Chain A
Amino acid sequence: MRPDLSTSYLGLPLSGPLMASASPMTGRLDSLLALEAAGASAVVLPSLFEEEVLAEESQLAELMDAGEDFAEFSGSPLPELEQPDLGAGAHVNLVRRAKEQLRIPVIASLNATRPGSWQRYASQLADAGADALELNLYTMAADPSVGAADVELAHLAAIEAVKIAVDIPLAVKLSPYYSAMSKFAALAVDAGADGLVLFNRFYAPDLDLERLSLLARADLSEPDDQRIALRWLGILRGQLPEVGLACTSGVHSGSEIIKALLVGADVACTASAILRRGPEAVAVMLAEAERWMTAHEYTGVAQLRGSMSAASVEDSSAYERAQYQAVLHSGRYA
């Protein structure tokens, strides 16, 4: 008998354990449809970054001002055009269009910068029909006057505010850099998070040595990148048994899906594999996971999920210290 791949996340029933996380592939209708056809059980749309929205709107306003008061012009030389996809509109409309076309859940993603705007954009995305919302708690804490506690408080406040503003389930995509992950995860859940996504990937700048310019390059993940998520999923599963957990970063094959489920994730997410190999990678990865489960005689995802979490294994020290000393001394590093 084929194993039952269905799972649930944030209270949403999912047909399988692999979602497409936010990437350019989830920003277009044609690739969204292809992802659904390949078996993705949900899609997370590209994040609405408030900074980008503001920059785009301000730039357009400035450009439209040019030449406005010239004698021979009747207004700006750029035509006045209804632009429903301007700024936040592009995200809101993508949610709407995706909901019209897709049968699988559509999860919107949001990164705002100001207290009021979290709620405003969250409401817009929810009103457009998003099945759930993923808060992308991205803060580059480069301001020397802002401390760790300030950042965490702001994040928790954002979760609370959005929870009040919308009725749909709320996932929070975490950074791996919190000083006290378990505590913060618990506080996030208290503040209203229905699920946690581990972990956000941050793109670090690179340098072009010929042009002497900074590059903002989007590095794709590698399978090894999954391990830090595995640790925390394993730890949090037991601590937050009712909370939805999603594993993202480094999910490239059926193996990473299985690992994520074993440590306690409800679902695994992938972006890099899709960007590298196209939407059909989803079907391949699911088939690999299914083969593994068949070979290892698992009846379904429900059986697998959390079976090797910190709470479910005999010795959880591998999660908590990762045998740092032993690894170093053994020379077993990749």
Chain B
Amino acid sequence: MTGDNGPVTRWETLDGNEAAARVAHALSEVLAIYPITPSSAMGESADAWSAAGRPNLWGTVPDVVELQSEAGAAGALHGAVTKGTLGATFTASQGLLLMLPNMYKIAGELTPAVIHVAARTLATHALSIFGDHSDVMAARTTGWAMLCASSVQEAHDFALVAHAATLRTRVPFLHFFDGFRTSHEVNSVQVLAEADLRALVREEDVLAHRARGLTPDAPIIRGVAENPDTFFQAAEAANPFHDAVPAVVAEVLDELAARTGRRYGLVDYAGAPDAERVVVVMGSATGCLGETVDELVRRGEKVGLVTVRLFRPFPVEAFLAALPPTVRAIAVLDRIKEVGAPAEPLHADVLVALSRRPGPRVIGGRYGLSSKEFTPQMAKAVFDELAAAEPRPRFTVGIVDDVTHLSLTPDHAFRVPEDHLSAVFFGLGSDGTVGAAKNSVKIIGEQPDNFAQGYFVYDSRKSGAVTVSHLRFGRTPVRATYLVDRADFVAVHQFDLLRTMKTVDVARPGATLLLNSPHGEDTWDHLPVEVQAEIAEKRLRTWVIDAEAVAKAAGLGRRINTVMQPCFFYLSGVLPADEAVAAIKESVEKTYGRRGRTVVERNFAAVDAAIAALRPLPAALRPTSTEHRLPPLPEAAGDLVRRVTGAMLHGQGDLLPVSALPVDGAWPTGTAKWEKRGIAAELPVWDPSLCIDCGKCAVVCPHTAIRIKLADPVDLAGAPEGFLHKEYKDRAHPGRRLVVQVAPDDCTGCGICSDICPARSKSEHKHKSLDMAPARDHRDAERGNFAFFLGLPEADRTEVRADQVKGVAQLQPLFEFSLACSGCGETPYIKTLTQLFGDRMIIANATGCSSIFGGNLPTTPYTTNADGRGPAWSNSLFEDNAEFGLGMRIAQDLQSAEARRLLGVLRAQVGAELADALLAADQADEAGIAAQRERVARLKAVLAGHVATDDAARRLLSLADELVDKSVWIIGGDGWAYDIGYGGLDHVLGSGRNVNILVLDTEVYSNTGGQASKASPRGATAKFATAGKGTAKKDLGVLAQAYGDVYVAQLAIGANQQQAVRAMLEAQAWPGPSLLIAYSTCIAHGIDMATSMSHQAEAVASGYWPLYRFRPGGDGHPLHLDSRAPSMPVRDFMQSEARFAMLARANPTRAEELAQLAQADADERWHYYSQLAGMERGLPAPKEEP
């Protein structure tokens, strides 16, 4: 917001979220928030602004309050507006669904309120964080007005329109824009002035709203129950208010236009005045369609575009008025799939609107689900379809539908004029490419008369993530809302990407190409043949730089962004080099100034050294390489994985036809192993002479990249040269050899294994049994070793001591190579569970980090053993996971009971001995499980002979496997367990059913970027608690213990592996509910993740995280403390983590107060637990089911 009152317009470069949030913060008193992608940034900004004391338009600092869920946020919003304050919230997707009940209430009560939505896909067959309108369309019956912004500028302007119009009409407003495409697009925006806000948000409307607020000084009653006699009439009584909305919004839009010159209608038309073919659309596709229409009109075609801005109440009159009278055919594009409906929502509305004015043929199509690209070629295809003699009444565009044949074929030859220069940057998440690209957009956009746009494509990996940044810039505003496909400048910031994905192909002929290459003058020889061909055929002007070397010399490590950025400006010529360098330095100062002078100066040094390090690449005229890029997956991966997963891995998933995809979202497991990423800069190297067989390395490895097996010497015949093994000290099985093997292409090089390794050389202290060493020196040899290792027999589960760390380490992990952050604190718990119970696990996984690294395509880490058994995994939602898992347990119990009943019925056919053995089986240990599986196999063989004649036999055969015990695990993070899912979790804990719950407690919403939860500790700074969390962490374990019959343990696998394993086994064995609360280090803590595991020892030693097990039904003293009394101050632990230390540097007084309270919390907690540990408690054990 600008403070000026005059007509001078100010341009800023903003993304859609900030554009909307600025207005919302300025026009609200209460902001009730909850994080959800892609809207989280709006709440984060609002929270940070309020924490910094930024006032709203009336001088009040808005109260930004985080709730336990979006349902809670909507409830709080409802309360705040009912009391007469100005309230708003931000959300998306499932979050909006959780707000629906309150939305009906707020609308029914005619109470002004605004929800800003970064519209996102709803989870159906799969979750998607990306954008479409499925969430907002689910809200179209709530009675809220719905206003759609199509661009970053509109997100800014319509935020104001929504806040102004809700106060004038009393109808609450849902203001939405496309998730990612608009919410995350950075573009040049004319910023509204405070005076604009004051002019449109009329004081009398604010006061009138306040006057309607609930007050005991003039009491009224709301929320009453009405009966059949009056409900219907009362519902109709509000009609005039809703009927008035279009006119009021039009009035506000007119006022906005008068002040800013930016004129919008409720429905806008652009194109030929005598158009015959018209497309109707909402949202960001307007940009692409607008360009397409302009080009087609230029070519003489009679086409036009109708953009709907006010969707609810649907402005029928405005819509009809917008349509040219000449129109003969209309295609309505919906960014949602409404299964079973005769038309998608906008399509249906258009049909109804046109029922008053019959004439044009109307067809409807779906596009852009989950941020699927929508390009001018696709837009052209829609107009072409309208020109057909018999257009398809329903169609899709943007995919190839070879099943129901609904898809249109894009006109690939069609291009719209490209008025802007464009650039594409390929990078990795860790190299700062996106940050630099955003900076470049701002630098260019803030030059006089320059306009710039940036859009950023991310993949889902949290280690080794690929980013692609698309930039456009020029002398006119940029409205293209699709990716750059013919770039004037292409930079590949990571050399390996040239081999693993298509990169240079996006360059237009004669474009400039910048490669970050460690190979200097020899770079050409290291390029895959396809890349050489692109460079040669397109005559790309190619430059190379060894950016790592420049960055390293400047002290920047792997951050190459400030090396590559000046090169872009220098080579592209978009700004004079000296101006660009000055601007980059200014942005470095802005970005890194808060992180200290050192970093600023190192970046300056990198900027200064960059251009001199550029070298033109002497390129041959034709390709010379024999190496190919996009290597296919090995045949062993199978057809589906090679064809479908392989395409996704190569960035070609958009090309897959409908028939290639599963119909119900069910995918094969165990695909992470096919994605050989090789991202580690260092690999652990094993010295068997020092190894003490402890197994800690394998237990704590977050990526399952350190493996342990025991081998008979005979199995080692044929091992590659250099394959290491050592004697395994075991009296029961003398002679066996221990192998500790790294998976060199799956290791992330986090260093945790080496950090935790307790075995040191006596003669050289720094040398451990596992040392990190440069990957390039070891990767090739370890590839061969790992391949051989995989062929060694797996451990016999009936022989391994699973109650010991070294034993667990030998068991086959059925969770491997996840894409979690390097050093992740969550994954070791899951991996260990799969080692213990993976072949019989059913997992209900709450949405969050563990569902993303556990189940995000292209590849997934849960896998199977040689028998084909492994964890069966599903994710329902964020909020319902405990219930989801309980449902699985109930079903399994029912199926097992039915199998047992049928077995009783068929006892004679099956044979009494087998039947009785099956029914009486003790499955408490691996031997028992193995024996039962063997019996089930015999049972199946027997039943096979009866199925043709006996229905009961057929039914029992379908359930026979359920006679083997299953281990139901409910897994999720603290956001789920402490906040959004707590009600369900509590209910499940109280159910007495045999479920095991693992809470991966990172003490923050990790997956959405580090927002505070009720698990966040006092004194830590986090998003939504920027000023430091003032309240203590909720003690989930003690709450659960109150039930008495719930097994509860608090663990920290990095601090005490043995206790963690013991707790897992006891939880599994306890026939009632079990709750494991697992301390999970996270990048949001601000620690060196190489010490992610060993650092946990300090959490325990300081009493910050006591270890315990609460074992009901045991010796009468259920609580057993597994850690010792605190031996170091909590403050020392806190100061070693940036989440606490940052607050100490930002606000020493508050940090000191909170640190003292945190110490008191820890002291009191230890005192309390110590007393509980002496308490006697005896409750009846839960009844075993069935």
A60 contacts B1009, CB within 8 Å? no
A215 at the interface (CB under 8 A from B): no
Partner of B1009, one of A77, A87, A88, A90: A77
A54 to B40, CA, bound (A): 33
Using CB atoms, name the residue of chain A closest to B823: A66
A77 contacts B433, CB within 8 Å? no
Within 8 A of B (CB), among A42-95: 53-54, 56-90
- Cβ of B25 to closest chain A Cβ, rounded Å: 15
B1143 contacts A81, CB within 8 Å? yes
Q: Which residues of B sit under 8 angstroms from A146, Cβ to Cβ? A: none
- Cβ of B128 to closest chain A Cβ, rounded Å: 11
Residue pairs across A and B with Cβ atoms less than 8 A apart, 28 shown, are: A53-B596, A56-B596, A65-B432, A67-B462, A67-B1083, A69-B430, A69-B434, A69-B467, A70-B462, A71-B465, A72-B1009, A74-B41, A77-B1009, A77-B1083, A78-B1010, A78-B1021, A78-B1084, A78-B1138, A79-B44, A79-B1022, A79-B1023, A80-B48, A80-B594, A84-B1146, A85-B1144, A86-B594, A212-B760, A212-B765
- Cβ of A70 to closest chain B Cβ, rounded Å: 6
Q: Which residues of A sit under 8 angstroms from B465, Cβ to Cβ? A: 69-71
A90 to B1089, CA, bound (A): 26
A233 to B1087, CA, bound (A): 46
B110 at the interface (CB under 8 A from A): no
Partner of B48, one of A68, A78, A79: A79
Contact digits for A157-175, partner B, Cβ 8 Å, 1 yes 0 no: 0000000000000000000
Q: Residues of B within 8 Å of A, CB-based: how many?
A: 61
Known: A70-B458, A72-B1008, A78-B1021. A87 touches B596 (CB 8 A): yes
Partner of B597, one of A66, A68, A87: A87
Known: A69-B467, A70-B458, A72-B129. A54 touches B434 (CB 8 A): no
Using CB atoms, name the residue of chain A closest to B38: A72
A284 to B483, CA, bound (A): 76
5 tightest Cβ-Cβ pairs between the two chains A and B:
A77-B1010, A57-B596, A71-B458, A73-B1009, A74-B41
B598 contacts A79, CB within 8 Å? no
A178 to B829, CA, bound (A): 56
A70 to B430, CA, bound (A): 9
A59 to B427, CA, bound (A): 23
- Cβ of A78 to closest chain B Cβ, rounded Å: 5
B1145 contacts A86, CB within 8 Å? yes
Within 8 A of A (CB), among B1128-1186: 1138-1139, 1142-1146, 1148
Known: A57-B596, A63-B1086, A73-B1009. A79 touches B1021 (CB 8 A): yes
A90 contacts B595, CB within 8 Å? no
Q: Residues of A within 8 Å of B, CB-based: how many?
A: 38
Q: Which residues of A sit under 8 angstroms from B1088, Cβ to Cβ? A: 59
Partner of A68, one of B429, B555, B1089, B1146: B429
A86 contacts B760, CB within 8 Å? no
B699 at the interface (CB under 8 A from A): no
- Cβ of B861 to closest chain A Cβ, rounded Å: 18
Within 8 A of A (CB), among B529-562: 555, 557, 559
Contact digits for B28-57, partner A, Cβ 8 Å, 1 yes 0 no: 000000000110110010001000100000
Q: Which residues of A sit under 8 angstroms from B555, Cβ to Cβ? A: 58
Contact digits for B1003-1037, partner A, Cβ 8 Å, 1 yes 0 no: 01011111000000000011100100000000000
A83 contacts B1145, CB within 8 Å? yes
B129 contacts A86, CB within 8 Å? no
A115 to B1144, CA, bound (A): 30
Using CB atoms, name the residue of chain A closest to B42: A74
B821 at the interface (CB under 8 A from A): yes
B429 contacts A58, CB within 8 Å? no
B248 at the interface (CB under 8 A from A): no
B1145 contacts A90, CB within 8 Å? yes
Known: A69-B467, A90-B1145. A81 touches B1009 (CB 8 A): no
Q: Which residues of B sit under 8 angstroms from A87, Cβ to Cβ? A: 596-598
Q: Which residues of B sit under 8 angstroms from A71, Cβ to Cβ? A: 37, 129, 458-460, 465
Q: Which residues of B sit under 8 angstroms from A89, Cβ to Cβ? A: 1145
Known: A85-B1148, A86-B595. 6 other contacts (CB 8 A): A53-B596, A63-B1083, A63-B1086, A67-B429, A68-B432, A74-B41
B435 at the interface (CB under 8 A from A): yes
A residues touching B (Cβ–Cβ < 8 Å)? 53-54, 56-90, 212
Known: A60-B1138, A81-B594. A65 touches B559 (CB 8 A): yes
A72 contacts B40, CB within 8 Å? yes
Using CB atoms, name the residue of chain A closest to B130: A71
Known: A63-B1086, A212-B765. A74 touches B462 (CB 8 A): no
B599 contacts A58, CB within 8 Å? yes
B592 at the interface (CB under 8 A from A): yes
B433 contacts A74, CB within 8 Å? no
The interface residues of chain A, by DSSP majority, are classed as loop
B594 contacts A83, CB within 8 Å? yes
Partner of A74, one of B17, B430, B592, B1145: B17
Within 8 A of A (CB), among B738-786: 760, 765
Using CB atoms, name the residue of chain A closest to B183: A74
Q: Which residues of B sit under 8 angstroms from A53, Cβ to Cβ? A: 596, 598
A89 to B593, CA, bound (A): 12
A120 to B40, CA, bound (A): 40
Contact digits for B980-1023, partner A, Cβ 8 Å, 1 yes 0 no: 00000000000000000000000010111110000000000111
Q: Which residues of A sit under 8 angstroms from B428, Cβ to Cβ? A: 69
Using CB atoms, name the residue of chain B closest to A58: B598
Using CB atoms, name the residue of chain A closest to B1024: A79
A61 to B588, CA, bound (A): 12
A83 to B599, CA, bound (A): 14
- Cβ of B368 to closest chain A Cβ, rounded Å: 17
A67 contacts B821, CB within 8 Å? yes
A70 contacts B429, CB within 8 Å? yes
Known: A71-B129, A77-B1004, A78-B1142. A64 touches B458 (CB 8 A): no
- Cβ of B159 to closest chain A Cβ, rounded Å: 18
Using CB atoms, name the residue of chain A closest to B1026: A79
A70 contacts B1009, CB within 8 Å? yes
A78 to B575, CA, bound (A): 33
Q: Which residues of A sit under 8 angstroms from B1023, Cβ to Cβ? A: 77, 79
A81 contacts B598, CB within 8 Å? no
A62 contacts B557, CB within 8 Å? yes
Within 8 A of A (CB), among B266-319: none
A149 to B1007, CA, bound (A): 57
Partner of B1145, one of A59, A72, A84: A84
Using CB atoms, name the residue of chain A closest to B428: A69
B1144 contacts A81, CB within 8 Å? no
A77 to B48, CA, bound (A): 13
A88 to B601, CA, bound (A): 14
Q: Which residues of A sit under 8 angstroms from B1082, Cβ to Cβ? A: 77
Query: Which one of A57, A74, A82, A87 has the highest number of Cβ atoms from chain B below 10 Å of its Cβ?
Result: A74
- Cβ of A2 to closest chain B Cβ, rounded Å: 39
Contact digits for B378-401, partner A, Cβ 8 Å, 1 yes 0 no: 000000000000000000000000
Partner of B458, one of A59, A69, A82, A88: A69
B595 contacts A74, CB within 8 Å? no
B1145 contacts A69, CB within 8 Å? no
Q: Which residues of A sit under 8 angstroms from B44, Cβ to Cβ? A: 74, 79
A57 contacts B597, CB within 8 Å? yes
Known: A78-B1139, A79-B1023. A69 touches B462 (CB 8 A): no
- Cβ of B1131 to closest chain A Cβ, rounded Å: 13
- Cβ of B1055 to closest chain A Cβ, rounded Å: 16
Q: Which residues of B sit under 8 angstroms from A84, Cβ to Cβ? A: 1145-1146
Partner of B1010, one of A73, A81, A212: A73
A81 contacts B40, CB within 8 Å? no
Q: Which residues of A sit under 8 angstroms from B598, Cβ to Cβ? A: 53-54, 57-58, 61, 87
Q: Which residues of B sit under 8 angstroms from A56, Cβ to Cβ? A: 596
- Cβ of B1041 to closest chain A Cβ, rounded Å: 31
A67 contacts B1009, CB within 8 Å? yes
Using CB atoms, name the residue of chain B closest to A76: B1010
A71 to B118, CA, bound (A): 14
